[in-house]
Amino acid sequence: MSTIRVDSDRCQGHAMCVTQAPSLVDVDDLGFAVIIGDGTLSTPEHHEQAERAVACCPEQALHVEDES
């Protein structure tokens, strides 16, 4: 199972990730990315959204962890 994670130290609040992965990422009151739920990528759509979100972030604040 794979999981999307955010590195809060890197996130600068650009918010492109939210438009690319609205099922997986939201922003908090200050505009920084937060993962919705536990971030588990349980559908092909989740994987597609996660790939797009990771690719779009100019701060490289998002990544996908692969767990067996």
Binding site for ligand F3S (CB under 6 A): 6, 11-17, 27, 33, 57, 59, 61-62
CB of 37 to ligand F3S, least distance (A): 17
Which structure tokens are listed for 37?
């739920």
Taking the complex as a whole, how short is the minimal distance between the CB of residue 25 and ligand F3S, in angstroms? 7
Is 27 or 64 the residue whose CB approaches ligand F3S more closely?
A: 27
Report d(CA 32, CA 41) in Å as an integer.
21
In whole angstroms, the minimum distance from the beta carbon of 16 to ligand F3S comes to 4
Query: The tokens 């994987």 sit on which residue?
Result: 47
Residue with Cβ nearer ligand F3S (6 or 41)? 6
